[in-house]
Amino acid sequence: MESRKLQKVGYSTLSVSLPSSWIKEMDLKRGDSVFLVPEKDGSLKLFPNKILKPEESLEEYICNADLCDDPKMLERIIVGSYILGRDRFSVISSERIQSEHIEEIRGVMRRLIGLGIIEETPDRVTVQCSVDPRKFQLDMLLRRLSIISLTIVKEAMQALLDSNTALAEDAIKREDEADSMYLLAMRLLVSAQKRREVADEIGLTDPLHILYFGLMLRYLEMIADYAEEIARRVIELITKYKDRLPRWVIERMSNLNDLAHDLVLKSVDCFFIGDIKIANSLLEMLTFVELERDRLMQELPDMPYLRLICWNITRIADNGASIALTAINHTLERKTKICSKSWSTRFK
């Protein structure tokens, strides 16, 4: 950190010089414009004019497919580049791109909203993202992800209640939609972290909100993953053990699943409405879910997948409790009846 003194210019204006190394790096000269953005903590951010102007040409990132010889390595590089906000990305090869890599590229594109192939030759595939982060509101994406995740939770267990494998398969397909929503939202969070104007336009008025929304997105994406796993095990149960599965087992597991579903649903609501009291009660509710899980596990018949399903239901509830805790921390950032700043210097 470098310290510089304020200098008086004229009768009332104060000025401060800029570091020469930064001036050279930004390629600035006399007469160029810079922009000052005030932060909530009283600090100022300084931007050269060229950073705030949209670029006429997109930066292109290159991935050498010849070096991606491990399974799904190329897919993960493309997803990572998408989250980092890279708009144009090319996969190249010294000879011909392998068919396995082509399949990875096309497969991952179905999960990445706004991504499409704009150029394809035997040794090069270029994809480009058309998503403008400023066209989205992050809270709406978060609500959408919560709806999708909770729908998977409901459908997976309803499939077991109705012995309906088609419904379980629908739940599994929805998990791809949850992944797409999660990855898009993470892309927006990274863009918001890099550019303050993007954060303002997508509804992140405080940099700390990036942390809270990132946690919420991760918890909801994991809930969708656990629910998908339940749906897969339900299909195997129905296929192999339908006639041997006691009805009381199905109903007890369904009741446990309903508790986990409601815990997540109410925790998400607490995040948006800022109710600390309800959020705290939901954290206590997790203990009840775990007790019910333990009782049920002791009574379950010796049959594959039942205990695994119970474990996944508990993980859903556990992530719901983490959302409730995040809701409490998020709410404490603003004035509430329960907790607010005291301006007195001592207790009376």
pLDDT per position as a tens digit, 98-120: 999 999 999 998 899 999 999 99
pLDDT of residue 233: 96
Residue 281 lies in a domain: yes
Considering its fold, how many domains does the chain have in total? 3
Q: Strand 124-129 vs strand 34-38: parallel, antiparallel, or unpaired? A: unpaired
Residue at 286: amino acid letter: L
Tokens 């950190």, residue located: 1
Residue 193 lies in a domain: yes
Residue 343 lies in a domain: no
Q: Is 323 exposed, middle or buried (0-12, 13-18, 19+ CB in 10 A)?
A: buried
Please identify, among 113, 129, 145, the residue that sits at the C-terminal boundary of a domain.
129
Q: How many CB atoms lie within 10 A of CB 9?
A: 9
Residues 28 and 112 in one domain: no
Query: Domain of 14: which CATH number?
Result: 2.10.260
Residue 221 has pLDDT above 60, yes or no: yes
Terminal-to-terminal C-alpha distance of the chain: 41
Residues 215 and 310 in one domain: yes
pLDDT of residue 105: 93
Could you tell me the residue range of the domain that residue 16 belongs to? 7-52
Looking at per-residue pLDDT, the higher value among 2 and 100 belongs to: 100
Q: Could you give the residue ranges of the DSSP H alpha helices within 84-164?
A: 99-109, 138-162
State the pLDDT confidence band at 55, using cuts at 50, 70 and 90.
very low
Residues 160 and 244 in one domain: yes
pLDDT of residue 133: 76
Residues 277 and 163 in one domain: yes
Q: Which whole number is the average pLDDT over 36-65?
A: 69
Residue 348 has pLDDT above 50, yes or no: no
Residue 67 lies in a domain: yes
Q: What is the reported pTM?
A: 0.81
Residues 292 and 172 in one domain: yes
Query: Domain of 125: which CATH number?
Result: 3.30.110
- Mean of pLDDT over the chain: 88
Q: Which whole number is the average pLDDT over 306-333?
A: 95
Residue 56 has pLDDT above 50, yes or no: no
User: Residues 188-217: pLDDT tens digits?
Assistant: 999 888 887 788 888 887 777 889 999 999
Q: Compute CA 7 distance to the chain's CA centroid, rounded to the nearest angstrom.
A: 46
Residues 79 and 17 in one domain: no
CA distance readout (Å), 329 to 54, 208, 215, 317, 324: 36, 11, 12, 19, 9
Residue 50 has pLDDT above 60, yes or no: no
Residue 339 lies in a domain: no
